[in-house]
Amino acid sequence: MSPYLQGILILAGINVLAVLGLSLLTGFTGSFCFGQAGFLTIGAYVATLLTMELHVPFAVALLGGALFSALVSIPLGLPTLKLKGDYFAIATLGFAEATRLIVENLEKITGGSRGIPGIPTKTSLPIVLVLAVVASICIRFYVVSRHGRNCVAIREDETAAQAIGINTFRYKQISFFINAALAGLAGGLLSHYVGFIQPAMFGIQKSTELIVMVIFGGMHSVTGAILAAIILTALPEVLRAAAAWRLVAYGAVVVLIMVTRPQGLLGNWELSRESLMAIWNGLKSRFSKKAVGVDHG
């Protein structure tokens, strides 16, 4: 496999990890998070500093970044998860911007806006693949568990969810925690893949890019978020022939899909044994109908 293709796959895998939790938090629990870059920043910097200053093994550094990011979600969630709709989105946006500025100003530790160069590039395709697949399976199982049903109930009608005894705040906290952990993990993988990080990599456009993936793939589908992360990571590369126009083309594709399919690529379709069987049976009946038509013709 060419290093170029490998690079695209690694970035796609990292993006899958970054959107999985977002799919759970925003798509399934209904809390619109616009500050995903904040958790990526924390994961990336904590993992990097663990590697470069404390020389811990890569796995420990990744775990440290994910855990730290997840822990930050707890005090951040306490005041903000009670906010409704747009207010939560704005609060998370503020968190991401604040995180970026803090990193920029902690020059002694983070290198400020110049960033940290020379990070050992330990992220490899097999590592990213295994982590992305395992996390995808876990989230897919989670959304159909009793906990996942509670999350969807909150999204559908928070008052009714409370009325059937769901501790809505706690479930939002759990989704926020899982999201922050996965985003932190993605951040650590990213810094150890690129070999260099600086705050400018984690601006508002990064948060936008990730939430767009969730909406593009289908808010109510884990499979959709994964698919969108892969497609939208590869798309700018596919469009490279269009040179300067490629980002315009990228935007046009996103607009086109959202106009023609507001529910996202997959809506609420999920990959499962049952859904594959349903497609198979649909195809079979279509072909048998055609066969009947031929007989009569």
Partner 1 sequence: MDNVVLDIQKLSKTFGGVQAVNNFSLKIPEGSLQSIIGPNGAGKTTIFNLITGIYKPTEGTISFNSRRIDGMETFKITEMGITRTFQNIRLFSEFSVLDNVRTACHMRSDYSVFEGLIPTPRRNRQERAVTDYAMNLLKLVNLDDRANEYADNLPYGHQRRLEIARALALEPKLLLLDEPAAGMNPDETQKLIEFIAEIRTKFNLTILLIEHHMEVVMGLADYITVIDFGKIIATGTPVEVQSNPIVIEAYLGVGE
Min dist CB 282 to partner 1, Å, is 17
Residues 129-188 that bind partner 1 (CB under 8 A): 138-139, 141-142, 145-150, 152-153, 156-157, 159-160, 162-168, 174
Per DSSP, the chain holds a count of helices (H) and strands (E) of 13, 0
Q: How far apart are CA 247 and CA 168, in angstroms?
A: 40
Q: How far apart are CA 64 and CA 41, in angstroms?
A: 13
SS3 of 144, please?
coil
Query: Are 14 and 128 spatial neighbours (Cβ–Cβ below 8 Å)?
Result: yes
What's phi and psi for 57, nearest 5 deg? Answer: -60, 155
Q: Does 23 bind partner 1 (CB under 8 A)?
A: no
Min dist CB 181 to partner 1, Å, is 11
Nearer to partner 1, 149 or 246 (CB): 149
Min dist CB 180 to partner 1, Å, is 14
Query: Are 34 and 92 spatial neighbours (Cβ–Cβ below 8 Å)?
Result: yes
Nearer to partner 1, 45 or 177 (CB): 177
Q: Does 278 bind partner 1 (CB under 8 A)?
A: no
Min dist CB 156 to partner 1, Å, is 4
Q: Does 281 bind partner 1 (CB under 8 A)?
A: no
Nearer to partner 1, 44 or 214 (CB): 214
Nearer to partner 1, 86 or 156 (CB): 156
CB atoms within 10 A of CB 257: 17
Residues near 276 by beta carbon (within 8 Å), at least 6 away in sequence: none
Residues 206-235 that bind partner 1 (CB under 8 A): 220
Min dist CB 285 to partner 1, Å, is 19
Nearer to partner 1, 6 or 145 (CB): 145
Q: How far apart are CA 131 and CA 87, in angstroms?
A: 33
Query: Would you state the structure tokens that stand for residue 121, as one six-digit string?
Result: 């590039």
Residues 43-82 that bind partner 1 (CB under 8 A): none
- Beta bridge partners, 198, equal none
Residues found near partner 1 in the complex (CB under 8 A) = 138-139, 141-142, 145-150, 152-153, 156-157, 159-160, 162-168, 174, 220, 268
